[in-house]
Structure 1
Amino acid sequence: MTTDSELPGESLVLLETAQLLGRSLQPEATVPAVLRLLSELVGLNRGRVVLPDDDGQHLRIRYSYGLRPHERDRGVYRLGEGITGDVMRTGRVCVVQDVDAEPQHLFRAVDRATLPDETVSFIAVPILVDAMPIGVLGCHRLRARSRGFQADIQLLRIVAAMLGQTLRIRSLMDQRTAWLEDQNEALREALARQQQYQGILGDSPQLRSVLDEAGRVADNDVTVMLLGESGTGKERFARYIHEQGPRAPGPFICINCSAIPATLLEAEIFGHERGAFTGAVRNRPGKAELADGGTLFLDEIGDMDVDLQAKLLRLIQERKVQRVGGDRDISVDIRIITATHRNLQEAVNLGQFRLDLFYRLNVVPIRLPPLRERTGDVVQLARHFLDDFNARHHRDVTLGPGVLARLQSYPWPGNIRQLENLMERAVITARGTTITAAEIEHILNDESAVSGPVHVPPDAATARQQNVGGDAEPADSAVFGRPYQRVDPAEADQLRSALARSRGNKTRAAQMLGLSVRQFRYRLTKLGLD
C-alpha cells in the first residue's frame, strides 16, 4: 500500500518522464534517463528495456541503467525463455518475490553475487502497443521495502505505456526515414542514369531498348544512322554514343545539313582555302577537320545536295578531306554518325540520294521511338521541363488536376521538342500558381491550328502511296494531326467520347485527338457515326 510520503516520488517520476519524452524522441537518450529516475526516486534498480532482436527469434537488452556494458550484452533471451521471455510471450505482468527461489529467473545479465545479500525481487511488465507486447520493462527491488509491490507495478505499467508510445513513434520515424532514403537512392540512380545517358530522360522499355542498342555500338567506329521523326532527340543519342565510346575525350562536332544552304555546306564540312570564293580571306578548317580524334555528327543527312554526297562518300571511305579551293588531301581520324527523318530508301529510288552512300551510312541503323510510343515517359519529361522552366523564368507553378492525363493522351506529332515548347509556354503564361488542364488544352488547340505539314513517318508515306481503294485517309490528311492510319472500328468509342467532351464541337473534338477536322469527319463517316 502506498503511503503519503511516497506519493511525491512516484509523481515526480511520472512528471520527469513526461518531460523527458516530450523533449526528445531519441530513445538512446531518454529511456536510460527514465530508468535512472526509477532507480533514484523509487528504488527500482538495474532497470532494463528488452526488445526483439533483428532476427525476430531473440530478445535483447537495448536500454538500461545500472548495468555494466558486459551485463547488458549478456542479456539475450529466446522467445519464451526465462521471466523476460515469458512476459513477452504472454503479455502479462510477472512479479518474482525472491529471485533465489525462482528457477525461471536465469541471472543471465546480472550475477547473483552482484546483487545485495538481502532478498531481492524482480518485476517485469510488458510494453504494449495496441494491446500487443513489443518489449519488456524489468527492474530489481528489495523485497523488504515498505513500498508495496502493487504501487511499483502500477508505476511501471504507466511508464511502460509511455515508453511504448515513444518507441512506436521512433519506429514509424525509422520506417519513414528508410522510405525516404530509398526514394533518395532511386532519385540518385535516376540522376546517375540521366548523366550516363547524356540527359536522355525516360524509363519506358522502348527507350531503354534503344539506349542498350546504342551502347552496344559505342565501343567501335562503325557508322551509325539514327532514324526517327523530328524532335525525338537524335543529337542527344549521337552524343550519347560518342560519350560512351573510346572517342569520348575527343571533340563532338555537329552539323545540321538542312540548316545550311547547299552552297555553303561544302565549305562548312570540308573547309576552304584563302581566295577560294568571295569572302574567303583566310584558310579555314572544316568541321571534319575539327572533329579529328572525335565524332562528326551529320544531322538531316537526307537533305544534303546530291553533288555534295560524292565528296562525303570519299570522306567516309578514305577518311580524307580536300578543302574548297585546295588541292591537297588532309587525313582525319573521325567517327561518323548520321541522322535523318526521311526515308532514304525512297529517296534512293527517286534519285535524290546516292545508293553507294546509303549503303555506307546504313551500316547500323537505329530507330528512335516517337514520344507517343514511349509509354509513361511523357510524365517524367513534363515534370523535368516544369522544374527547368520554373527555375529559368523565376516562376513556381505546379500542374493541376488532369494535366498529366491530357499530356499522356496527346499524340505529340512534334515529339519531345513540342512537349518542351508547350511546357515553357505553359509556365510563362500561367495565370496563377497552377497550370490548369484548360490552359494546356488552349495551347494544344493553338498548336493544332498552326499551318504546315506534320511529319509523316516514311513507312506511313509509302503505305499511303501503295494503298488504293482501301480505308486510307484523303491525300492531304497529314496536313494536321496524326499521320496516316487505317480507320479502326475500335476508334468509335474514342470518337464518341471526344464529341461528348467537346459538346458536339467537331473542331475541338478533332483537336483533342490530334486529328485534323477532315480526318475526324472522315472517321465519323467510315464508322457510320456522322
Structure 2
Amino acid sequence: MDTQPISSVTTNAPIDTGAADLTVVQEAARLIGQSATPGVAITGTLRLMSQMLGLNRGRVLLPSDEDGLLAIRYSYGLTDQERKRGLYSFEEGVTGKVMKTGQQAVVQDVDQEPGFLFRTVDRATLPEGIVSYLAVPIMEGNLTVGVLAAHRLRMRPRAINADLVILRILATFIAQIIKINTLIEERTSHLREENQELKVALEQQQNNHGILGESAAVKDALLQITRVADTPVTVLLTGESGTGKERFSQILHLNSKRCDQPFLAINCAAIPEQLLESELFGHEKGAFTGATATKPGKIELANGGTLFLDEIGDLNMELQSKLLRVLEGQVIQRVGGTRDVPVDVRIVTATHKNLQEAVNQGTFRLDLFYRLNVFPVHLPPLRERDGDVRILARHFLLSANREYGRYTLFGRGVLERMESYNWPGNIRQLENVIKRAVLIALDGNISVSDIESILRQESVINKHLEAGQAAVSNYPRAAEPAATTRITEPGLVAPVAASSRPYRWVREDEEEQLLNALQQTGGNKTRAAALLGMSARQFRYRLDKLELTNAP
C-alpha cells in the first residue's frame, strides 16, 4: 500500500454522513464551548473520534517551543512513553511531511509504507491486519500550526474519505481552540509579567517610604527628605502641580519624632481668603456672625505634630505676617482673640510658584521667604523620572480596574507611548488618563489610539500648563549648586547661581534680543535658546510673556 495525499485519494466510496459523524461534530463543538482548558476540549474530541468513529490513538502534534520539533501535545489511547517518543522534525516521516507541506496524507497500509517510522507506536502494539494512518494539517489561515493524526483499520465498511472529512472539520475546531488558548496565554503571560513588576515596585515602595518609583530623581528627593525629617528645620517643597508634595510631606512627618502626633494638611488656594484665617488660626466665640463657639484652627489641632501648608504662595500679605509670627514665636492668636496661644507645631510648606519671583513682584514677604526657604527640596516632574511612568501606570491601572470592576490590560506600545509623553500635569494627570482609558476600552484592551485620543483632548489644557512649568523649572533646587541671594532694590531679590543657565526675570527690553536670536537660527527656538544661554523652556516662556509666540 502507498501513502496518498488528498489529491491522490480516488476512492469512490460514499461519504458517511450518518448520526455518528453528526454526534461527534456536535459534541466536539460543545466541548470547545464548555471546557475551561484546551486539554479537556481536545482530549475529549480525540476520545469521541476513537469511541464513535474508530479513529484510534488520535494525537495532536504541535511545534515545541524549546527545539521546534513536532511533539505530541494532546492524545487519546497513547501511553506516556509513546507520547514522549512522538518527536519529529519537519523532514521526518508522514507527520513531518504533512506539517511541512500543509497537505493531508493517507497511509493505506503502514506495513507497506517505507516512510512510516513506527516511532510513536510499535507495530506489535497495533492490531493484526491492515492498519491505516490518516494525518491532516491544523491550519490557521494559510499557516500550518500542527497535525491531527490517527490510526484506523483498513478493512472497514466506513470509507476513508468520510474519516478525512471529519478529521478536517475537527482540525478546524482544534485550530480555533489553539488560537484562543494562545491569545489567553499571551494575555495571561502579559498580566503575570505586569503583576510581577508591580509586586517588585510595591516592595520597592516599602523601601521608598510609600513612594512608587525607582528613578534617581525620586531617590534624591527622598534622601533629602529623610535627612532632615528628624530635625526642626523648616522644609519648603517646590515643584510643579501633581508631583506629590503632600505625600512627601507625610513621609517627612512619619520619619520624624512627631510621627505619633497629628498630621494635618491644608491647601491655601482651595479655601476662600475670608475663611482661610479662621481655618488656620481658629476663632473665638462671637468673633463674627455665625461664630457661636470657640473653634481651634488647624495650627492648634496639629499641636505636637506637623502642619502641611500647600500652595503657600497664595497667602495674602496679612496672613503671611501672622504665619511668620507662628514660625518665629510658636504662638498664635485666634480670630477675635486677644491672648497668645502657645503651639508646638512643625510647618512644612509647598508651592508650585516661584516665591523669589513673587518677592520681586511684591506679593510675598522677603522675611517669610527666608524663614521658609531654609531647606528647599525640589520634587521632580514626571518627565524627569526615568522609568517611573511604567511603574506608576501599572499601579494606576490596577487601582482603576478594582475601582470600576474591570479587567483591562495595556495593549502593545501603550506603555512606550506614555513614557514618551511630556506629562505637564504629572502624576495626577497620568492617573486621570489611565482611569479614562479603562472606562473607554471596549474589549478590555487599552490601545495606543485610546491614549492618543485622550491626550488630544487634554492638549488645550497642556498649553496653559507649559508657562507654569517654565517658571517652576527655574526654581533653585537643593540638589544643584547652592545659589546666593542679593538684594537688587528694596524688597526685591534675585538669585545668582553657579549654573550655566541662571534664572533671569522677563524684561521688555529682551524682545529685540529674542527676535535677533530667532533670525540668526532661522526660527529654530531650541538653537536660539542655546545661543542666549537659556533652556528651550525658558526661551518659550519669554516669547509667551512678551507675546512673541507667533514670531518667525
Q: Is TM-score (shorter-chain normalized) higher than 0.5?
A: yes
Give 1:73 shift: 4.2
Structure 1, residues 166-197: CA drift from partner, whole Å, max 9, x if none? Answer: 23323332344355557767998999999x99
Structure 1, residues 415-463: CA drift from partner, whole Å, max 9, x if none? Answer: 899xxxxxxxxxxxxxxxxxxxxxxxxxxxxxxxxxxxxxxxx999952
Q: What secondary structure, in the 3-state scheme, does the structure 1 residue paired with 2:165 have?
A: helix
Please tell me the residue identity of whatever aligns with 1:15. Answer: L
Give 1:252 shift: 3.8
* 2:348 is the alignment partner of 1:336: yes
Given that 2:331 and 2:340 are in contact with CA atoms closer than 8 Å, whether structure 1 keeps it comes out as no
* Structure-2-length-normalised TM-score: 0.56
Q: What secondary structure, in the 3-state scheme, does the structure 1 residue paired with 2:254 have?
A: coil
Residue in structure 1 matched with residue 376 of structure 2 by the alignment: 364
- The percent of aligned pairs where both chains have the same amino acid is 26
Give 1:55 shift: 1.9
Residue in structure 1 matched with residue 417 of structure 2 by the alignment: none
Once residues 15 and 89 of structure 1 are traced to their aligned partners in structure 2, the CA distance between those partners, rounded to angstroms, is 31
Q: 1:100 to 1:321 in 2, by over 3 A?
A: farther
Structure 1, residues 304-347: CA drift from partner, whole Å, max 9, x if none? Answer: 545324423336xxxx5455555674434x46233252433661
Q: 1:64 to 1:369 in 2, by over 3 A?
A: closer
Once residues 472 and 237 of structure 1 are traced to their aligned partners in structure 2, the CA distance between those partners, rounded to angstroms, is 37
Out of 318, 321, 342, which is 1:307 matched to?
321
Equivalence map 1:28-67=2 (5 Å): 28-67=39-78
Once residues 372 and 198 of structure 2 are traced to their aligned partners in structure 1, the CA distance between those partners, rounded to angstroms, is 36
Q: 1:346 to 1:46 in 2, by over 3 A?
A: closer
Equivalence map 1:73-92=2 (5 Å): 73-79=83-89, 80-81=91-92, 83-85=94-96, 87-89=98-100, 91=102
Equivalence map 1:237-386=2 (5 Å): 237-242=245-250, 246=254, 251-257=262-268, 268-269=279-280, 284-292=295-303, 295-302=306-313, 303=315, 304-305=317-318, 307-314=321-328, 320-321=330-331, 325-326=338-339, 329-332=342-345, 334=346, 336-339=348-351, 341-344=353-356, 347=359, 352-355=364-367, 358=370, 360-366=372-378, 375=422, 383=433
Given that 2:86 and 2:119 are in contact with CA atoms closer than 8 Å, whether structure 1 keeps it comes out as no
* 2:149 is the alignment partner of 1:138: yes
Q: 1:237 to 1:167 in 2, by over 3 A?
A: farther
Residue in structure 1 matched with residue 464 of structure 2 by the alignment: 413
Residue in structure 2 matched with residue 432 of structure 1 by the alignment: none
Q: 1:12 to 1:106 in 2, by over 3 A?
A: same
Once residues 314 and 491 of structure 1 are traced to their aligned partners in structure 2, the CA distance between those partners, rounded to angstroms, is 54
Given that 1:411 and 1:514 are in contact with CA atoms closer than 8 Å, whether structure 2 keeps it comes out as no
- Structure 1 gap segments, 5+ residues each: 198-204, 391-398, 418-457, 474-484, 495-512
Given that 2:437 and 2:454 are in contact with CA atoms closer than 8 Å, whether structure 1 keeps it comes out as no
Residue in structure 2 matched with residue 105 of structure 1 by the alignment: 117
Please tell me the residue identity of whatever aligns with 2:301. Answer: L
Once residues 41 and 286 of structure 1 are traced to their aligned partners in structure 2, the CA distance between those partners, rounded to angstroms, is 84
Given that 2:424 and 2:462 are in contact with CA atoms closer than 8 Å, whether structure 1 keeps it comes out as no
Q: 1:389 to 1:84 in 2, by over 3 A?
A: closer
Give 1:44 shift: 3.0
Equivalence map 1:14-33=2 (5 Å): 14-23=21-30, 24=32, 27-33=38-44
* 2:505 is the alignment partner of 1:463: yes
* 2:166 is the alignment partner of 1:162: no
Given that 2:236 and 2:376 are in contact with CA atoms closer than 8 Å, whether structure 1 keeps it comes out as yes
Q: CA RMSD in A?
A: 5.7
Residue in structure 1 matched with residue 178 of structure 2 by the alignment: 171
Please tell me the residue identity of whatever aligns with 2:356. Answer: L
Once residues 374 and 362 of structure 1 are traced to their aligned partners in structure 2, the CA distance between those partners, rounded to angstroms, is 34
Once residues 253 and 106 of structure 2 are traced to their aligned partners in structure 1, the CA distance between those partners, rounded to angstroms, is 71
Residue in structure 2 matched with residue 440 of structure 1 by the alignment: none
Give 1:233 shift: 3.7
Q: 1:166 to 1:351 in 2, by over 3 A?
A: closer
Residue in structure 1 matched with residue 129 of structure 2 by the alignment: 119
* Structure-1-length-normalised TM-score: 0.58
Once residues 181 and 11 of structure 1 are traced to their aligned partners in structure 2, the CA distance between those partners, rounded to angstroms, is 41
The size of the alignment, in residue pairs, is: 422
Once residues 121 and 83 of structure 1 are traced to their aligned partners in structure 2, the CA distance between those partners, rounded to angstroms, is 15
Q: 1:312 to 1:517 in 2, by over 3 A?
A: closer
Once residues 49 and 153 of structure 2 are traced to their aligned partners in structure 1, the CA distance between those partners, rounded to angstroms, is 14
Given that 2:304 and 2:344 are in contact with CA atoms closer than 8 Å, whether structure 1 keeps it comes out as no
Q: 1:165 to 1:364 in 2, by over 3 A?
A: farther
Given that 1:296 and 1:335 are in contact with CA atoms closer than 8 Å, whether structure 2 keeps it comes out as yes
